[in-house]
Each structure stands twice: as C-alpha cells, then as structure tokens.
C-alpha cells in the first residue's frame, strides 16, 4: 500500500494534489525550488482545507493532523529519498521535466513510482532519459485537484501490471476516479474534448453569433449541466441516434476545423492577458480579493456538486 508521497512543484496543481494525499492519511513531502511558493502553498492548502471543513467534507478534528501530514522542503533528496509515489507537477516544459525527472530518479528508491501530472506531453517522451522508464506513469489530475474526481492514467506497453495496479488502487483509495488510456495520444481524453469545445466557442464569437457571456451560458446551462451527470455518448442515446445522425451530418461541415491555436488566444498572450493570474482574461478580475472570492465561490459550487455525486 502506497503511503509515503513526494510532490514536486507546489504550484496550482502540486499543492492541491498534496492536500488530497494528506487527507487520505499519507505522509507528503512537498518540494519546490521557490521558498516563497512553498510558504504560499501552506496558506492556500490551509484555506482549501478550511472550506472542506466548513462544508462538512472533512471533520474539524482531523484538520491539524492533515496539515501535519504535509512537510514542505527545498531539499529534493529529503523530498523523494523515502517516497513510494512521487508526483511531478513542475511547469509544462519538456526540457525542464527531463531535468527534474532525472534528478528524482537519481535520488529516489529503485522501487518508487514516478507519476507526472503533465497535461499534454507523451509518457514515452517524458521517460526517454530515465534508466527505469518502466517505473513511470502519468496521473493527470484536474484543477482543483482536491475536488475534481477524474484522474487520467497513461502507461506504456512496458509498464508492469503491478505498477499500474498499485497506482489504480491508490487513486481509488483517495476517492479519485481513474480512467486508463488504451494508448498514448496528445492531450489524453479530457483535454481533447475541452479543446474541441474551446475551438468552436471561440469560432462562434469570431463569426459574430454570440458574445462570450452567452457562449459560457449556453454551455453551463445546457450541455455542461447534463455532462456532469451523463457523458456525451449517453446523452446521444437519450436523444436518439437517428437524431444524432442528422445532427452530426448537418453540422460536421459547419464546424471550425482550424489546425492551429486560435488567433484571439495568441493575441491575449501577447498582451499579457492570462486570466485570473494577471487580472485580465476573457473577463476582468480587478483585484486579488475579487480573484480569491471567484475561486472560493467556484470551489463551493464544486463541493456541492461533489456531495450530490457522492449521494448517487
Ligand atoms: N493548472 C492546471 O489547470 C493544470 C491542470 C492539469 C495539469 N496541469 C499540469 O500540471 C503541471 C504543473 O502545472 P501548475 O498549473 O501547477 O503550474 P504552476 O506554475 O502553478 O506550478 C509549478 C511549480 O513548479 C515549481 N518549479 C519550477 N521549476 C521547478 C523545479 N525545477 N523543481 C521543483 N519545482 C519547480 C514552480 O516554482 C511552481 O511553484 C504542468 O505539467 C501542467 O501542465 C496543470
């Protein structure tokens, strides 16, 4: 049974993954190269945990113990030396991940499993310079990782059955819903689905069909409302596949099929409009307080959805 965890990178994903592990009685060493990020991670983890306690997803009596389960460190050897599962959550740059993964491998036990949280990079590329590539998998959590149930799992043809099974048993034990891909593909399943929707959303705005607010509303009050409970294929079954044959036949020629990133996203990046992290994205977030409040109300809604799913 996996109990000793290391999480490498204490940013948006790493700190939230550390919280999930700690809530499930694992000992977690959370490592980052930036001391300020580690300090901030402790505050943000505490705030996330407070919300879970307030909403009844975690007893107040456990919260001190959970926080004590997380030990932050700037020393990689200390982080990974005795870890059984090491989750890598550093920025999405292949060269950086290669460097970090090689150092992790050199400093960790031969039996440790290394799991990357990459959103897009293929496992065979990530593991290319490792001497024990068979000990590496991808476990792709979704933001916020302590609330979203899905974890996509990617293995290669040479991944031993026991590595996969240890990872799946662990993910189920911590309340996650793992989905294992049958083969490697960029973007896995969920990000490909999201990217397809995003391409069409931006296309509809670009050709003047709707503004961004109405596009978001059309999703959250329409397909998004249903998809949280029944996926797109089950939705089609309920609607009737005769109807869906017409829908797909009529719409396929109309949909955007651009093969590069939408110009509007590139333009926003050029202007430094990166979303909540800079205060300006598709929408405006004038102050840090507004951002904190938006994240809190998003998380509250996700917690309520999670409770609803748990009751099913
Ligand atoms: N943000 C998301 O919504 C999301 C969702 C799923 C997966 N991911 C993936 O998770 C990974 C991390 O993304 P994030 O959003 O948490 O990024 P982030 O920028 O918030 O955090 C990355 C952290 O890594 C640290 N770091 C940089 N170099 C390091 C090094 N050499 N050793 C240790 N730490 C180092 C940084 O200081 C930072 O704290 C990426 O691969 C990303 O694609 C992100």
pLDDT digits (tens, 9 = 90+) for 5-28: 999 999 999 999 999 999 999 999
- What pLDDT does residue 211 have? 98
* Residue range 4-180, CATH number: 3.40.50.720
Burial class of 108 by CB neighbour count within 10 A (0 to 12, 13 to 18, 19+)? buried
Tell me how far the alpha carbon of residue 253 lies from the centroid of ligand 1, in angstroms.
Answer: 38
pLDDT tens, residue by residue, 119-150: 999 999 999 999 999 999 999 999 999 999 99
Task: Report the atom number in ligand 1 closest to the C-alpha of 99.
Answer: 31
Q: Given the CA of residue 37, which atom of ligand 1 is nearest to it?
A: 39
CATH entry, 190-311, from 2.40.30.20, 1.10.1040.10, 3.50.50.60, 2.30.30.100? 1.10.1040.10
- φ and ψ of 153, to 5 deg: -120, 130
CA–chain centroid gap for 20, Å, is 12
Residue 306: predicted pLDDT: 92
Backbone angles phi, psi at 4, to 5 degrees: -100, 115
What ligand 1 atom has the least distance to the C-alpha of 31? 33
Give ∠ CA 107-73-127 in degrees, rounded to 5. Answer: 40
pLDDT at residue 1, as a whole number: 87
For atom 21 of ligand 1, which residue has the closest CA? 11
pLDDT at 310: 77
Helices in 207-274 by DSSP H: which ranges?
212-220, 223-227, 232-239, 241-251, 263-270
Three-state SS at 311: helix
Counting Cβ atoms within 10 Å, is residue 279 exposed (0-12), middle (13-18) or buried (19+)?
middle
Ligand 1 pocket test: pick from 6, 7, 8, 11 the residue with the most ligand atoms within 8 Å of its Cβ: 11
pLDDT of residue 312: 64
CB 98 within 8 A of CB 124: no
Q: Which residues form the pocket of ligand 1, taking CB atoms under 6 Å from any ligand atom?
A: 8-14, 31-34, 37, 89-92, 100, 117-119, 141-143
Between the CA of 89 and the centroid of ligand 1 the distance, in Å, is 5
CB 110 within 8 A of CB 131: no
56: left (phi over 0), alpha (psi -120 to 50) or beta: left
Residue nearest to atom 18 of ligand 1 (CA): 11
Regions of the chain with pLDDT less than 70: 311-312
Residue of the nearest CA to atom 20 in ligand 1? 11
**Nearest residue (CA) to ligand 1, atom 37:** 34
């Amino acid at each position: 049974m996996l109990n000793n965890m290391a999480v490498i990178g204490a940013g948006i994903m790493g700190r939230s993954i550390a919280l999930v592990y700690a809530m499930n009685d694992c000992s977690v060493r959370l490592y980052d190269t930036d001391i300020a990020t580690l300090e901030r991670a402790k505050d943000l983890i505490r705030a996330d945990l407070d919300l879970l306690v307030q909403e009844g997803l975690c007893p107040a009596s456990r919260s001190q113990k959970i926080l004590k389960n997380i030990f932050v460190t700037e020393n990689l050897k200390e982080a990974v030396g005795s870890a059984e599962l090491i989750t890598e959550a550093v920025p999405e740059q292949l060269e950086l991940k290669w460097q970090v993964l090689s150092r992790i491998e050199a400093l960790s036990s031969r039996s440790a499993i290394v799991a990357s949280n990459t959103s897009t990079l293929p496992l065979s590329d990530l593991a290319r310079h490792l001497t024990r590539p068979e000990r590496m998998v991808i476990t792709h959590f979704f933001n916020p990782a302590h609330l979203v149930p899905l974890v996509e799992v990617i293995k290669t043809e040479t991944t031993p059955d026991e590595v996969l099974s240890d990872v799946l048993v662990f993910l189920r034990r911590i309340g996650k819903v793992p989905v294992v891909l049958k083969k490697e593909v960029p973007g896995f399943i969920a990000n490909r689905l999201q990217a397809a929707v995003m391409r069409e959303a931006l296309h509809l705005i670009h050709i003047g069909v709707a503004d961004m607010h109405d596009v978001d509303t059309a999703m959250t009050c329409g397909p998004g409302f249903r998809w949280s409970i029944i996926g797109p294929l089950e939705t089609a079954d309920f609607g009737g596949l005769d109807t869906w044959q017409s829908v797909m036949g009529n719409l396929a020629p109309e949909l955007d099929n651009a093969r590069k990133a939408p110009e509007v996203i590139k333009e926003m990046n050029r202007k430094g409009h990166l979303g909540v992290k800079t205060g300006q994205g598709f929408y405006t977030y004038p102050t840090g307080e507004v951002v904190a409040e938006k994240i809190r109300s998003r998380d509250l809604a996700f917690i309520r959805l999670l409770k609803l799913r748990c009751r099913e």
